[in-house]
Amino acid sequence: MATRVLLVPPLARSVQRSPFWLLLPVGLLYGALALLPIGVILRLGLSDGGAPLRTVLHSPLLLRATENTVVISLLTTIIAVALGTLLAVALWRAGATLRSLLWACILLPFWTGVLIKNFAWASLLQDNGVVNAMLLALGVTDHPLTLLHTRFAVIVGMVHYVLPYAVFPIFTSLQAIDPLLERAARSLGAMPRRVVWLVILPLIVPGLSNAGLLVFIVSCGFFITPVILGAPSDMMIANLIDYYVHELVDFNAAAALSILILAAIAVLIALQQMLPKEGQHGTA
């Protein structure tokens, strides 16, 4: 008995895809709320032949704020990437239930938002807070340590915030590793420690650098945490902008500062794009 075949005519690719003008909404929104403001910022910051830029560059506050930002962000990045790698590896090795549990622990702070976290840390680190209570109880010290309103508190708060951002890229690159590579290496005589050093580590370098860059950039932009957990001397770049806007009411200078920040971020991203993309996974 002959069968009839229903043919699905091949349609042009363009018919399958969604129309390009769907990008219009996002374009309008970003255009109005991002490009336009940036245009305004550029205009204000570079007005008067660049006078606001000069004001900002000569301000001693800038030096202080930049130094704080770089140092604090660098420390935060190093700690966050280290801890993030630990968590990512644990996630990678864990069975299904343990993995869900770990994800829940990592994502809960991600969802609770910066204000809550800082508030909680403020409560925890204050002189009669939990941390001091524990230190006293354990006999580590005999009087409460000043933990709040210090650089230490700022770094604690920042690491706590950025840790999930560090875990995601590292975990992704771990997952991309062919599971048979470890077995191959061991079958060829490699002891487990050498497998980690010679096979796994080289393959997660892109993930590590992505995590580091993301965490560093996010850290540089912090505003709330230095205010709540830090001392006035821990002022970071974002706080400086706020200072220019709300205290000195010098919008031009604030704009000039914003230009500097955006330029710095652009440079960082460009640098990272230039890093050799080692460890691309092309298997059969």
Partner 1 sequence: MNVALPIAATAPLGEARHHLSVEHVWKSYTSGVHVVRDVSFTLAPGEFLTLLGPSGSGKTSTLMMVAGFEAPTRGAIRVDGRDVAQLPPERRNFGVVFQGYALFPHMTVLDNVAFPLRMKGLGGAARRRAAMEMLDKVGLADFAARRPRALSGGQQQRVALARALVFEPDALLLDEPLGALDRKLRESLQIEIKEIQRRVGVSILFVTHDQDEAMMMSDRIAVMQDGQIAQLGAPDEVYLHPETPFVAGFLGDTNLLRGQCVGLGEGAAIVRFAGDAIGPARLSRGGGRPGVGDAVLVSIRPERIGLLRPDEVAACVIEGVVADRVFLGRHTRLVVHALGQMLVVSVAEPPGADVVAGAAVRLGWSREDAQILHEMGTGATR
Partner 2 sequence: MARRDGLGRIVLYAACLPVLLFLLLPSLVIVPMALTKGQMIQFPPIWISVHSFADYIEDPQWFRSTVLSFEVAALAVAIGCITGSAAALALHDRRFPGKGLVTGAIMAPIVVPLVVLALGGYMVFAWLHLIGGWMAIGLLHGMLVTPYVFISVQTSLVAALNPVLVRSARSLGAGRASVLRHVIWPAIRPGVLAGGLLGFAVSFDEVVIALFLQGPDAVTLPVRMFTAIQFELTPKVAASASLFLVLSVLVLLAQAAVMRRRASGRAAA
Q: Under the criterion CB under 8 A, does residue 261 sit at the interface with partner 2?
A: yes
Q: Under the criterion CB under 8 A, does residue 281 sit at the interface with partner 1?
A: yes
CA dist., res. 72 & res. 27, Å (int): 35
Residue given tokens 């032949």 in the structure block: 49
Q: Which one of 31-39, 58-66, 88-96, 185-193 is the stretch in contact with partner 1 (CB under 8 A)?
A: 185-193
Please report, as a single letter, which amino acid is at residue 268.
L
- In whole angstroms, the minimum distance from the beta carbon of 21 to partner 2 comes to 8
Q: Under the criterion CB under 8 A, does residue 90 sit at the interface with partner 2?
A: yes
Q: Under the criterion CB under 8 A, does residue 224 sit at the interface with partner 1?
A: no
Q: Under the criterion CB under 8 A, does residue 251 sit at the interface with partner 2?
A: yes
- Among positions 150-209, residues that touch partner 2 (CB under 8 A) are 160, 163, 192
- In whole angstroms, the minimum distance from the beta carbon of 213 to partner 1 comes to 20
Out of 38, 51, 136, 199, the residue judged to bind partner 2 by CB under 8 A: 38
Alpha helices in the chain (DSSP H): 13-16, 24-30, 36-45, 47-58, 60-93, 96-111, 113-125, 130-138, 151-175, 179-187, 192-195, 201-220, 224-229, 237-242, 251-274
DSSP label at residue 147? -
Q: Which one of 49-57, 59-67, 111-119, 202-210 is the stretch in contact with partner 2 (CB under 8 A)?
A: 111-119
Out of 190, 231, 264, 265, the residue judged to bind partner 1 by CB under 8 A: 190
Q: How many CB atoms lie within 10 A of CB 65?
A: 22
- In whole angstroms, the minimum distance from the beta carbon of 173 to partner 1 comes to 12
- In whole angstroms, the minimum distance from the beta carbon of 9 to partner 1 comes to 29
How far separated are the first and last CA of the chain, in Å rounded? Answer: 42
- Residues 77-101, buried b or exposed e (16+ Cβ, 10 A)? bebbbeebbebbbebbeeeeeeeee
Q: Which does 279 bind (CB under 5 to 8 A by kind): partner 2, partner 1, none?
A: partner 1
- In whole angstroms, the minimum distance from the beta carbon of 76 to partner 2 comes to 14
CA dist., res. 280 & res. 41, Å (int): 39
Q: Under the criterion CB under 8 A, does residue 18 sit at the interface with partner 2?
A: yes
Q: Under the criterion CB under 8 A, does residue 175 sit at the interface with partner 1?
A: no
CA dist., res. 256 & res. 3, Å (int): 74
Q: Under the criterion CB under 8 A, does residue 196 sit at the interface with partner 1?
A: no
Residue 61: exposure state from Cβ atoms within 10 A (0-12, 13-18, ≥19): middle
Q: Which does 275 bind (CB under 5 to 8 A by kind): partner 1, partner 2, none?
A: none
Out of 16, 18, 187, 273, the residue judged to bind partner 1 by CB under 8 A: 187
- Residues interacting with partner 1, by CB under 8 A? 178, 180-181, 183-191, 194, 199, 202-203, 278-284
